[in-house]
Structure 1
Amino acid sequence: MEDAETDIREQMFHNTVREYIIFLLLFIVLYISSYALISRYRWRAGEDYLTTDEDEATVYRVSMCLCAVALAVSIGATLLLPISIAGNEILILYPNSYYVKWLNSSLVQGLWELVFLFSNVSLFALLPFAYLFTESEGFVGYRKGIMARVYETVVVLCLLGAMVLGMTYILSAILDRQKSSLHTLLSLWSYYLPFLYSCVSFVGVVMLLLCTPIGFVRLFGVVGSFLVKPQFLKNLDDEFFAYKLEEDCIKRRLDHAKATGKSYVSPVPMSQPGTDNLAPDADDDDCDEVSLRPNPGLMCLRNGALQRGLAQRLEEIKTRRQQLDEQRRTRWVRRTLLYPTAMLALLVFSTATALLALQNTLQLLVGIKALPLSTSKFTLGISSLSKLGPIGATLEVAMILYMAVTSAVGLYTLPGVRLVRPRLHSTPLTHVIANCALLLVLSSALPLLARIIGVTNFDLLGDFGRIEWLGNFKLVLFYNVIFASVAIGCLTTKFTATVRKEIYARLRSSVLGIFKRDCKRAPTLAAKDE
């Protein structure tokens, strides 16, 4: 009997150690990937200043590490639901396999709880500390140094935390009067932190309501800018030679200006200054392509600004010409089939997501579908989450990942977020912190979005299932209605805007032509009457 108890304890010990090792390896992989991604986008022009000031370099490195941790947690929160769905199907297909015994409910539930914990820590402690640490200078009268900045950051962070907790207590007293009392005032970890995170998750779900349908539309343009369009839609040879001629023209003008020292264009262009050159299209921020649009100011520049403008324009034209040269050398199969396939896949995923939200709305109204609030403990490997089995689960995983991509694309098209959008090698540290916070909020709300609109039936594990507002029928129904309406409206506008503009232009030209004819006939009729 004692041997049996010893074996059980040893097995539990080995299972716990194995889970911790898996958690540590996953975190290391995500952290290294996040740090490499941030290093690719961070601002590198200020590295010379950091080499001269050791304190600033230390602050910069610490803040970068904290941002990498937050980004790793956000990536983990995004992949958490797809990994759980895939793990459940793997256990159903191979229940007795030796290689998947480590994948069990305890491991997956531990992942959910750790992601929930580190999401709170990153959002309410690490990222505010990183921002305050970069802005701190130390208290007045205290000896300057790195510890002075740490003391100031900790004091300000504690004051900020007290203010946030006070606002949380007031908000919980307003929204939930029954549970708010003097006894719950001391229940910081068990009541107020989950309540605060539920408020943040609600904000994230509302942001996803705006970003995801917009991302459905914007993703078509983003994918189209990286793929080669078929030959019948775009003549790459004509566009390549047009950019090559423009490159030669600007190069000759730049060489002539450098050789003669003239601060104006010589010879004078034959066309008007407002139409003789090309300029990048500023309306499409997601496309790196240089469009053939007039630049009214380049030919009017004087002094050294002319040479700088011509050199910058020459680099843009040269980059675009090289891209076109690579695209027109691609194989016929890739150039003909890849673009339509990608566009068709985006259309199918967008339409399926909108229809799922509409179906979930009808099922909630009829009473077939239950609310997404988790009420029972879910065990992996018992039953499939989809009626189609592994194929349906694969489609669910693909749709969840697709929504993650579209929400990120739609996020950076919002008016206020465009200012902090990351750019290669030119993103300052404060913008990095802001982007990590935004992505963390969205990724933490992504499992809730997939559960609310009915993409998957997977019960949220750990503290993710304790979010109380998921049990509000009116709120969930209203969210599904708005999401389905906005998604269908965005897709309809995307594919009918060109036709509507053309019809409007034809009608407008016809009406203006009729009025012009009437105006011309009126003087002639008056002259005949006289």
Structure 2
Amino acid sequence: MDDEEADLREQIFHNNVREQIIFLLLFILLYLFSFMLIEKFRHRDSEDLLSSDEDEVKVYRISLWLCTFALAVSLGSALLLPVSIVSNEVLILYPNSYYVKWLNSSLIQGLWNHVFLFSNLSLFVFLPFAYLFSESTGFPGYRGLKGRVYETFIVLALLGVVMLGLAYVISAWLEGDRSSLDALLNLWTYLPFLYSCVSFVGVLMLLVFTPLGFVRLFGVVGGVLVKPQFLRDLNEEYNVHSCEKQTTQRRINNSLATGGSYISPEPMCPSRGDLSGLRNGALQAGLNEQLEKIDAKIKEVDNQRKTSPLQRNVAYPLAMLLLLALTTITVLMVLQNTLELLIGIKALPLSTRQFTLGIASLSKLGWAGATLEAFLILYLHAASLTGLATPMSMLRVLPRARQTPLTRIIALCAVLLAHSTAQPLLVKILGITNFDLLGEFGRIEWLGNFKLVLLYNAIFAATVTFCLVSEFTASVRRELYNRFKWLTDVFVMQENLHLSKIVSPIARLSTERTVTAEKTDPNHDKIKKNI
């Protein structure tokens, strides 16, 4: 009996060690990828500018490491649900394989718990500490980093008190039984509640940006791939733009030599960017702007010429059809989930049971359906990130290669972390997969609100449908407007021509009568001589 207990304890110990080693290896991979990603965008001259002060360099590096840690956690949170779905199907396909024995429910459960813990630490501790530490100046009387560390911890503690007080007020407003003094002193209960509030804000953010991202993805793919060019001679267009570039260059040279107008050579189409009224610097600036536009057109047409016909005529239509198919499947699954919630067939996404990996497939289509669910989850994530980039580009806060300061990196890491940690909740609310949310993710209380979940599904389906219909009918509506405007212009021209045909004979007749009257008037010659 003692030997069996010893063997059992030894097996539990080895399993625990194996799981921790796997967690460490996965985190190292995510951390290295996050570090390379931040290195691509961060301002490279920051450490050179701070090299005169060794403390500043240390502060910058510590803040950068904390940002990298938070970004690695956000990547792990984004991949958590697809990896869990694929792991379940792998265990079903190969239940007795020696190579997948390490993949079990305990490992996946541990991954969910670690991601939830590190997400809380990154959101409420590491990222605020990184920002405050980078902006701190230090208390007077302390040398080195000690004064800056003390200042950061004190400000962070004050900020924590404010956040906990705010969480206490909100929880007391929502549920009166939490307003006791014991609940106020039990600080650990507020971290999941704060995380629940942050995840709710993240889910609302995804409700806005994911439908927008579906539409934006079509434009992104259209910008990456070359569109089919039917009924166009690319070589002729390239030659036309090349001649236009040479003409513009001669005009620039003439303007630099004389400082006058660019009449030589004379423009064939003055209505398009007429610069005849400009002189000297203004004229040269306008001509240089025209030259830049022509260079962009030449580059675009040259890229289209060099692309193979197979890529133009096959890759682009297939990519568009794939995006349309994935979006349509997503909308149909959301509509099905909404109907099942109304009828009562499907339960709310609040998880109350323990999920065991490798027992049954999550999809009625088997591994093919589970693979489709994993792709849809990644597609939703890509669409929401694309939609999130749209307002960021308008506000000019998108990261730029080797030009992004540290404070902006910290803010972007916080946004990405809130976005990625809300992604499993979004997928579960929309009914994309039947995989239960494990750990503390499945205990978020607002997931059990029927009206909220139903309203979210309805709004998401309606918004995505409206965005898709608006996107695909935009060209048709634009063409109809142009045709209607053309018909209106033609009608106006015909009316003006008709009026001119009526008015011209009348004017000619009145002129002839005036001339005749002048000739027959006997005083006409006297008046003319006096004049």
Give the TM-score, by structure 2 length.
0.86
Instruction: Measure, in 2, the Cα distance between the counterparts of 1:233 and 1:194.
Output: 60
**1:9 counterpart = 2:9:** yes
> What one-letter code is carried by the residue in structure 2 that aligns with 1:232?
F
Aligned to 1:158: 157
Cα deviation digits, residues 83-116 of structure 1 (max 9, x gap): 0000000000100100000000000000001000
Aligned to 2:87: 87
Offset of residue 67 of structure 1: 1.1
Instruction: Measure, in 2, the Cα distance between the counterparts of 1:421 and 1:509.
Output: 41
Q: Is the 8 A contact 2:202 2:422 kept in 1?
A: yes
**1:173 counterpart = 2:152:** no
Q: Is the 8 A contact 1:273 1:300 kept in 2?
A: no
Aligned to 2:444: 467
> What one-letter code is carried by the residue in structure 2 that aligns with 1:100?
V
Secondary structure of residue in 1 paired with 2:176: coil
Aligned to 1:279: none
Aligned to 1:207: 205
Instruction: Measure, in 2, the Cα distance between the counterparts of 1:244 and 1:78.
Output: 47
Offset of residue 353 of structure 1: 1.0
Offset of residue 269 of structure 1: 6.7
Question: Aligned in 2, Cα 1:59/1:516: closer, same or farther, shift over 3 Å?
Answer: same
Unaligned runs of 5+ in 2: 511-531
Question: Aligned in 2, Cα 1:515/1:64: closer, same or farther, shift over 3 Å?
Answer: same
Cα deviation digits, residues 489-512 of structure 1 (max 9, x gap): 000000001111222333344346
Cα deviation digits, residues 15-63 of structure 1 (max 9, x gap): 0000000000001000000010111111235453133333332222222
Offset of residue 209 of structure 1: 0.3
Aligned to 2:414: 437
Cα deviation digits, residues 273-332 of structure 1 (max 9, x gap): 9977xxxxxxxxxxxxxxxxx6989x87729x968994x987887677567545533433
Aligned to 1:282: none
Secondary structure of residue in 2 paired with 1:14: helix
Aligned to 2:516: none
> How does 1:105-116 map onto structure 2 within 5 Å?
105-116=105-116
Question: Aligned in 2, Cα 1:128/1:309: closer, same or farther, shift over 3 Å?
Answer: farther
Larger deviation, residues 47-56 vs 122-131 = 47-56
Instruction: Measure, in 1, the Cα distance between the counterparts of 2:240 and 2:503.
Output: 51
> What one-letter code is carried by the residue in structure 2 that aligns with 1:202?
F
Aligned to 2:338: 361
Instruction: Measure, in 2, the Cα distance between the counterparts of 1:64 and 1:158.
Output: 21
Offset of residue 348 of structure 1: 0.5
Aligned residue among 180, 187, 193 for 1:195: 193
Aligned to 1:286: none
Q: Is the 8 A contact 1:212 1:406 kept in 2?
A: yes
> What one-letter code is carried by the residue in structure 2 that aligns with 1:120?
N
Aligned to 2:184: 185
Aligned to 2:360: 383
> What one-letter code is carried by the residue in structure 2 that aligns with 1:94?
Y
Instruction: Measure, in 2, the Cα distance between the counterparts of 1:157 and 1:308.
Output: 53
Secondary structure of residue in 1 paired with 2:391: coil
Q: Is the 8 A contact 2:228 2:316 kept in 1?
A: yes
Offset of residue 129 of structure 1: 1.4
**1:120 counterpart = 2:120:** yes
Instruction: Measure, in 2, the Cα distance between the counterparts of 1:522 and 1:396.
Output: 67
Aligned to 2:401: 424
Aligned residue among 222, 225, 228 for 1:224: 222
Instruction: Measure, in 1, the Cα distance between the counterparts of 2:165 and 2:413.
Output: 25
Q: Is the 8 A contact 2:248 2:287 kept in 1?
A: no
**1:351 counterpart = 2:312:** no
> What one-letter code is carried by the residue in structure 1 that aligns with 2:329?
A
Question: Aligned in 2, Cα 1:324/1:66: closer, same or farther, shift over 3 Å?
Answer: farther
**1:372 counterpart = 2:371:** no
Offset of residue 187 of structure 1: 2.2
**1:452 counterpart = 2:429:** yes
Q: Is the 8 A contact 2:351 2:436 kept in 1?
A: yes
Cα deviation digits, residues 64-89 of structure 1 (max 9, x gap): 11111111111100000000000000
> What one-letter code is carried by the residue in structure 2 that aligns with 1:340?
P
Question: Aligned in 2, Cα 1:11/1:489: closer, same or farther, shift over 3 Å?
Answer: same
> What one-letter code is carried by the residue in structure 1 that aligns with 2:52?
T
Q: Is the 8 A contact 2:254 2:264 kept in 1?
A: no
Aligned to 1:284: none
Q: Is the 8 A contact 1:374 1:459 kept in 2?
A: yes
Question: Aligned in 2, Cα 1:318/1:507: closer, same or farther, shift over 3 Å?
Answer: closer
**1:510 counterpart = 2:508:** no
Offset of residue 181 of structure 1: 2.0
**1:75 counterpart = 2:52:** no
Cα deviation digits, residues 217-263 of structure 1 (max 9, x gap): 000111111112223287654554455456556666777888x6x87
> What one-letter code is carried by the residue in structure 2 that aligns with 1:390?
W
Question: Aligned in 2, Cα 1:152/1:272: closer, same or farther, shift over 3 Å?
Answer: farther
Aligned to 1:404: 381
Question: Aligned in 2, Cα 1:13/1:495: closer, same or farther, shift over 3 Å?
Answer: same
Aligned to 2:33: 33
Asked which structure has the greater CA Rg, the reply is 2
CA-based RMSD: 3.3
Secondary structure of residue in 1 paired with 2:87: helix
Instruction: Measure, in 1, the Cα distance between the counterparts of 2:129 and 2:260.
Output: 52
Larger deviation, residues 171-180 vs 397-406 = 171-180
Aligned to 1:136: 136
Aligned to 1:302: 281
Q: Is the 8 A contact 1:63 1:131 kept in 2?
A: yes
Cα deviation digits, residues 339-388 of structure 1 (max 9, x gap): 11111100111111111111111111111111111010000000000000
Aligned residue among 476, 482, 493 for 1:499: 476
Aligned to 2:524: none
Instruction: Measure, in 1, the Cα distance between the counterparts of 2:127 and 2:353.
Output: 34
Structure having the larger proportion of residues in helix: 2
Aligned to 1:280: none
Question: Aligned in 2, Cα 1:28/1:415: closer, same or farther, shift over 3 Å?
Answer: closer
Larger deviation, residues 60-69 vs 115-124 = 60-69
Larger deviation, residues 265-274 vs 326-335 = 265-274
Offset of residue 179 of structure 1: 3.3
Question: Aligned in 2, Cα 1:17/1:252: closer, same or farther, shift over 3 Å?
Answer: farther
